[in-house]
Amino acid sequence: MGLWKLVRGVRQLELHRLILVLIVFCLLSMAFLAYFVSNSPKIKEAPPMPFSDCGGVVAAAAGGQRAPLFLPPFTVRQRTVKAVDNSRTEPVVLVFVESIYSQLGQEIVAILESSRFRYHTEIAPSKGDMPTLMERDVGRYALVIYENILKYVNLDAWNRDLLDKYCTEFGVGIIGFFKANENSLLSAQLKGFPLFLHSNLGLRDYHINPAAPLLYITKPNEVEQGPLPGDDWTVFQSNHSTYEPVLLALTKSSEALAHLGPHRALHATVVQDLGLHDGIQRVLFGNNISFWLHKLIFVDAIAYLTGKRLCLSLERHLLVDVDDIFVGKEGTRMKVTDVKALLNTQNKLQTLVPNFTFNLGFSGKFYHAGTEEEDEGDDMLLQHRHEFWWFPHMWSHMQPHLFHNVSVLAEQMRLNMQFAQCPHPQISIFMTHLSNYGNDRLGLYTFESLVKFVQCWTNLQLQTLPPMELAEKYFQIFPEEMDPLWQNPCHDKRHKDIWSKEKTCDRLPKFLVIGPQKTGTSALHSFLTLHPAITSNFPSPVTFEEIQFFNGPNYHNGIDWYMDFFPFPSNVSTDFMFEKSANYFDTEVVPKRAAALLPRAKILALLINPVDRAYSWYQHQRAHQDPVAINHTFHEVVTAGLSASKELLTLQNRSLKPGTYATHLEHWLVHYQARQLHIVDGTLLRSNPALVMDGIQQFLGVTPIFNYTQALVFDEGKGFWCQRLEGGRPKCLGKSKGRKYPEMAPETRAFLTEYYLEHNLELFRLLNRLGQALPTWLREELQSTSWS
């Protein structure tokens, strides 16, 4: 037994030693491998050659090498193109999308936004009301785009006739897309048009028709030979003279298709309808805009169909920043050969873009912080310093927001300035980011290829300017962007990361009461603040309970100034903070600004009869001793002609304009979803506030449900509802609220009723489309108008 224990002990000892030996062997192997990898010579692939030749040039040089191409019959006729004139329309695009989430719809909107074109989106109706297309003989839209052209083709007769008449009368064109799917017919005629569609095809070898009238940015050229992506392309066929092909391609299959004509025939994938069939010009795409050439043609189509009203100049400016020129780790920094390549590429690009110059960003602390070869590269950069533009980071490359001490921040900037001045170049401050240009030099390859590609396929004229001059040029082109647009820093991780840890977006309001003025917004504000879970902003010493942030000079004070008007919520999920500023409703810049900072906010608009609202505003101005209101009757104000004094027309505008409710609500619906908007019936709020407040609580989703029946009491002396105090005593708004005015003159009421009739009908149609209940005053107004 003792012998067995001794043998077992020896075996266990040997096993432990074996495991220990294996561990030591693994560690030595890993150390050897790390040493070998870090010290072995790096295999560096040669950088790729930049894009060089244009497809059309190559094809022309190889003339006679390939079989002839057959053009569709509709390309050989002379065209009589009617000049586009939609000058009686607003420069706005109406976009009909399949849904708010559809990919093509989002791509269309992205192009419109990047071009700074105004637009309005609607879910494409197959039945139901068309949005309002005109207002007082002025068209609301200069162009109509259908994500799915079949939604246009299959419109019910009433809406189709309405839209076509609008397009004919105002010279408005239509862009439509047909994207085939597995359920699409292989061949079919487009309903109501002399045009046939052949779908689910594989295509290759794209061509641009140089005779297409719409070409502007796109330069006619032959695309590099090869298949187009996907097998879901649609081509168009027609013998009618109204259709001009824009883009053409061959079928992938070598077999001739009977309905498509002979093999090697070119088939139109994008066609331009010149309006010879029904007086409406259109551009139809046989696919989406994912393919790069479709994006160019889409932009050209917008320019052509709007008579160049929605169009950017062919002059484009280019600036390339090379960020962190000294900051890279050893082994990634620029060597002498990399600097030579940078200079060589800059010289090449200067032959294509006059005065092209790379803009180098630096942090002086990291100068000479690489290998010996890389330090020589730093020296060469400075030897050629006058051949580049420069912009600074912080001295130590630390992000400015991380400095909590202003003096330390200033010292970092001073050190970098000293580095720049001795003996380096004067610096223009202009900050962007781009990867280092050492090693693989993909930056050089990318920009040389890009510039050559743009010049090959577009008519764009590339130029460059030093950073500060370029900034000035940008604001000359887009002057409206000189004003900031504050966005919610908590909706973008990058912004939140650089925001102070002491700040929180929880202080931003969850809903807005936007007005308009003189509709009862002060009463609504007081009722809302009675709710235990609802909190208003702190009062302003200038504008009292209204902050008036989004509509005027306060906006330039920034979001910190705005948030200081709100307390820290005790419970983020259940506390509802809000602000009321009644002139938000009809101030055009407010919806865009509000949606940028508060995209998830809910919006309350309080509407009364616009005739009564106009009269109340006039009386409000009289009470505030406005000399124009005191010296003119209300009838004189609202009926004043264009020859009246500027002061009188200003009062007329402030009396009448806010009452065109539908127009202003449409502005809000450009930036907010319909489900975020709630229309409060101002007349019902005055007569039955508890009922209205119950509806508002349901819309906001606030808890607990507050009993306004018990919280409010009617004050017979004031003639309106007030807060109920202990013992049933009322606490009402001040003397300036709920004033009683003399009756409006009957002829003035009749004039304004006629003035607002069409606007009220537009509001009726809008609320029906949104599924919102009609205010009692609107229903009564339309009924009395119909009866009369």
Catalytic residues: 518
550 Cβ partners below 8 Å, 6+ apart?
Answer: 581, 584, 587, 589, 590, 593, 594
φ and ψ at residue 763, rounded to 5 degrees: -65, -40
Residue 726 DSSP class: G
β-strand pairing of 359-362 with 389-392:
parallel
- Residue 763 burial (10 A CB sphere; 0-12, 13-18, 19+): buried
CB atoms under 10 Å from CB of 700, counted, come to 19
8 Å CB contact between 206 and 248: yes
8 Å CB contact between 280 and 65: no
CB atoms under 10 Å from CB of 525, counted, come to 19
8 Å CB contact between 741 and 591: no
| Count of helix runs (H) and strand runs (E) in the chain | 25, 26
Q: Return the structure tokens found at 194.
A: 């002399």
| Helix, strand, or coil (residue 779) | helix
Beta bridge partners of 304: none
- Asked, as a colleague might, if the bond just before 48 is cis with ω within 30 of 0, I would say no
3-state helix, strand, coil in the chain (%, to 5): 45, 15, 40
Distance between CA atoms of 328 and 104, rounded to whole angstroms?
40
8 Å CB contact between 275 and 288: no
Dump strand ranges (E) for 598-694.
602-607, 677-681
Residue 540 DSSP class: B
Distance between CA atoms of 336 and 330, rounded to whole angstroms?
14
Q: Return the structure tokens found at 451.
A: 């510039």
β-strand pairing of 243-251 with 173-177:
unpaired
8 Å CB contact between 196 and 248: no
- Asked, as a colleague might, if the bond just before 775 is cis with ω within 30 of 0, I would say no
Please report, as a single letter, which amino acid is at residue 399. Q
CB atoms under 10 Å from CB of 766, counted, come to 21
